[in-house]
Amino acid sequence: MKYIIAIKKTKYGYDTHVPALPGCHSQGNTEREAIANTRDAVLTYLDME
């Protein structure tokens, strides 16, 4: 499955959230790291359902 990830640059790095999965969010120092961390967060979120 594919999910849209919303990414916002902050002064601390990048914050992300997945609009289709309430409460599923992550962060990273770089955009690439934030996306990788979000991928892990999505898998954890789906595993908990």
Q: Which of 22, 25, 23 is nearest to 6 (CA)?
A: 25
At 3-45, the pLDDT tens digits run 999 999 999 999 999 999 999 999 999 999 999 999 999 999 9
User: Residue 48: what pLDDT?
Assistant: 93
Q: What is the pLDDT of residue 42?
A: 98
Tell me which fold the domain 6-48 belongs to: Double Stranded RNA Binding Domain (3.30.160)
Domain locations in the chain as residue ranges: 6-48
Percentage of the chain modeled with pLDDT above 70 = 100
- Does residue 1 register a pLDDT over 90? no
What was the pLDDT predicted at 12? 95
User: What is the reported pLDDT for 24?
Assistant: 98
The number of C-alpha atoms within 13 Å of 4 and in the hemisphere containing its C-beta is 3
